[in-house]
A = this chain, B = another copy of it.
Amino acid sequence: MSRPSQPKLNTTDHNGVSVIQSQAHAATSSSSLPVSVAELQQVPQLVPANPSPGGGKALPPSKMKKPPADKDSEEYRQRRERNNLAVKKSRMRSKQKALDTQQRVNELKEENERLEAKIKLLSKELSVLKDLFLEHAHNLADNVQPPAGAEGSSPATNSTSTNGQ
């Protein structure tokens, strides 16, 4: 949780030294094995040994920390490369996700506009119908029963306010 490892030290924290042999990938000709010297670099074993003492089973709490990092070790290089790939992948996904999210915003905004337009339309329709309704109601209430169709007799059209959000 959180980030305990935060040495406020500025320049060069863990990095310290980072010498990488420039294995110019140029040539590519014959010399197949570029680096392979020094593979017998034994790390100081923090734990003397663990030859299944007694029963000969279980070895769970092997609190083996980390032998710093065998620099030019073959395996080291391999791990680094793997990690580098993972990092690249992860970052790619991250970026993609950001793009997707941005696009989502655009889509939602669009839909929002559509919905608002629809609301406007419905509101208008409603208001019209209500007005018509009121008009009739008035006619009925006033007992005004014209013999044959008589419109345009409403001086003040009560505009019903649309539901205020």
Q: Which A positions have Cβ atoms within 8 angstroms of B?
A: 6, 8-12, 15-23, 25, 28, 77, 80-81, 84-85, 98, 101-102, 104-105, 108-109, 111-112, 115-116, 118-119, 121-123, 125-126, 129-130, 132-133, 136, 163, 165
Q: A115-B112, A115-B116, A165-B118 are in contact. Are A8 and B25 (CB under 8 A)?
A: yes
Q: Which residue of B lies closest to A20 (CB)?
A: B12
What is the count of identical protomers in the complex? 2
Q: A11-B84, A122-B126 are in contact. Are A16 and B25 (CB under 8 A)?
A: no
Contact pick for A112, options B9, B112, B163, CB 8 Å: B112
CB distance from A24 to the nearest CB of B (A): 8
